[in-house]
Each structure stands twice: as structure tokens, then as C-alpha cells.
Amino acid sequence: MFNNIKKDFPIFLNIPDLVYLDSAATSQKPQQVIDSVTKFYSKENANIARGLYKIAEDATMNYEQVRSKVQKFVNAKSSNEIIFTQNTTSSLNAVMRGWGENFVKKHDKIVTTVMEHHSNFVPWQFLAKRKQANLVVVDVDDDGQIDLGDFEKKVKDSKIVTLSTVSNVLGVINNVNKLCDIAHEQGAICVVDGAQSVPSMPTDVQKINCDFLAFSGHKMLAPFGIGILYGKEELLEKSDPFVYGSQMIRKVTQKENEWNDLPYKFEPGTPDISAVIGLGKAVDYLSVLGMDNIHKHEQMLIGYLLKQFSELDGLNVLGPENSKQRGGLVSFSLDKIHSHDVAAMLAEDNICVRSGHHCAMPIHERFGLAATTRASVYVYNQKEDIDKLINSLKQVQKVFS
């Protein structure tokens, strides 16, 4: 199923020797997605929810059909629970502003983990400071797993618990179903950052029973500029919008206004319609492949990568050694070689990885590191990509030895 998939991606046809191992940062785009955006601008370009002429009505219908596709993709109860945003960061900020500002009070407890991306850490730091609440950080063990005892202790009497399904540094898959259950037992809401999980594994928000889930389109084959916020309808009803303007209101007078119905009260102004159309095609593409199949493919590749890494002296891996406990990424360091030097030398062989702190400084600090190199895989990767990475890493070590 995955052997011939690169033919669907123009970038690999245009750059045949490209070894792209940075899908945790953003995915490449298949021709089907690119064509859908081109078709929109060439044949259907109009604003939504405004005009009564055909292309405007078609644009509105196609836009709302994507909302329904996303609803089914994550198994939300209603399309009213799917909010289109700009990215994962804006989705998480929408929860912080819309729900957190209303319900977090002085001395309340907000719980997060040390492994979070800054987008799921900094907003809660800001809210805690603004509300004089307490931000409590759960630690991980030396294998990168959430310390369950520490979690259960710190989550007591909390108002919000926020965590990621898959760490963008450790690669570890957290048992968010169980962690959300523990949070709910304490009366807290559970916010999940799904940026690294939704593109790569089955997601069922009703099984997870999270209250909010944030993710981005660009990591799942869709264009840049489209993010998604899932929220339970009853919580979205209680939340306030934090960006104001047209479309998110039902009525405006000189003295007051009235919010629009869900989901529109959180979608002010003109959205990136073409990106939403592209998201719909991306969901179609992934659904044909099957999210279970994608997850298995990634775990096969990560298992192969970890085995190859284990044979390289001086290479240290962050996170679990068992590929079954991981998503599709591995962060690593090489003894006495800075991650930027590693990435720069790999780039000379047209191998794309990320280096640095990956917008997650606290977890690097936890392991006494300033930076790591990260390799991540997706649907278009094969073992040959990993073989090329390993061969180039051997050359890096040779040059610096």
C-alpha cells in the first residue's frame, strides 16, 4: 500500500533524491490536495456564507462538507463541535481564552506535563499568571513516560488538565483515555494536543472523552493555515469567543451584540477557504489509506530506525526503546556533536531533519540537553530513507571523530 505512494507527491518527483524526515514539523502535500486548492481558485473562488450566486453557494456547501468530514474523522457527536482555526496554537489559545478566562479563578490549579510543546505550555503559564492560579507540571520517568504516580498526586483538585497524545520530542504515546478519566474524577476538564497524533493514528474523541482536542491540517497532508479545535458542545456553548468581528455574531446594535450559533461564534471574518477545501481532500486521502494502516507503517519504520540507531556508538535516543510505545518520530543526540552540525551535514546529502529544542525547552532541560536532532516519518517514507540517514550519520561521526 505504501510502496508507491511517493508518486502522489510532486515534491518527490521534482526532487528525486529528497529524503524527507521532518513530517513532525510539516507534511508534504499530495497532488490531490494541491489540485483541490487550484480548482477552488480557478473555478469556484468566492467568499462563503454571503453571496446567493452559484459559486458562492457552492463554496459554502463545500466548506461545510469538510467540517462534516472532520467530524467523522475524529468521531465527534456533531459538526457543531468542529471549529476551524489557523493552527494548533490558535486552537489551544481559543480554549485558554474562551474557557479558561471564564472559569479559572485565583488559586485554581492548572496541570500540564514537562513534555509539552510550547503551544500547550505558554498559554497556560500566561493564564495562571493572569488569574493568580497555580500551574503544576507533571514529570516523566527516564524512559520519557508520564510518571503516573506524580500525575495522580498533582491532578487532585485541579481545574484544567492539558497534555499531548504524542510528545513532539520524546515520541511517546500517552494513554490519554486513562489520563482524561483521572482528570474527570477530580472535576477537571481535559485538553488534548493532538498535533502529532491525529495525522498518524485513529482518533476517537468520544472514546478519549477529552473535552477539547487541538490539531493542525498542515501535519496531515493539508495546506498551511488551517487548524481544528474539537470541543464538547456544552463546553463550547459556555465558552466565549476571543476574536471579534463579522460572521461570529447574530445581531449587532449600537449598544450590544449577540453571538452566533456554534460553530460560527468562534469563526470571525473570512477564513482560509482554500485551506479548508484542501483539508477535505487530505482527510479523504488518509481515510483511503486507513489510520490503522498508517500507524502500523510508522511503527514499523520507527522500529527499524531504533534498531539501526542501537548499532551506532555514541548515539543517544530520547524516549522509549519500544517502537510500540512511540509515534512516528525519534529525537537523538550524538556525543560531542551539536545537533545543528548534525542537521547541516545531513542537509548536504539532501536529508531533511529538525535540530534544536523543537519548541519544547522544558523537556530538553529535564534531560539535561540544550538541543537534539529529530527524525520523523510519515506515509511516504520507506526503509530506504532510514538507510540513507544511517549512512550519512556514520559520515557525520567520521568527520567529527
Residues marked as catalytic? 359
Nearest alpha-carbon partner for 172 in 136, 148, 188, 204: 148
Nearest alpha-carbon partner for 126 in 98, 154, 93: 93
Determine the Cα–Cα distance for residues 153 and 119; give it in Å rounded to an integer: 24
3-state helix, strand, coil in the chain (%, to 5): 45, 15, 35
Nearest alpha-carbon partner for 180 in 196, 200, 164, 167: 164
- Exposure of 342 by Cβ count < 10 A (0-12 exposed, 13-18 middle, 19+ buried)? buried
Q: What is the DSSP letter of 287?
A: H
What would the grid cell of residue 40 be? 477552488
Long-range contacts, 247-254 (Cβ 8 Å, 24+): 247/49
Q: Which residues of 122-152 are buried (b: 16+ CB within 10 A; e: fewer)?
A: bbbeebbeebebebbbbebeeebbbeeebbe
What would the grid cell of residue 341 be? 552540525
20: phi then psi, degrees, rounded to nearest 5: -100, 110
| Helix or strand run (H / E) with residue 79 | none
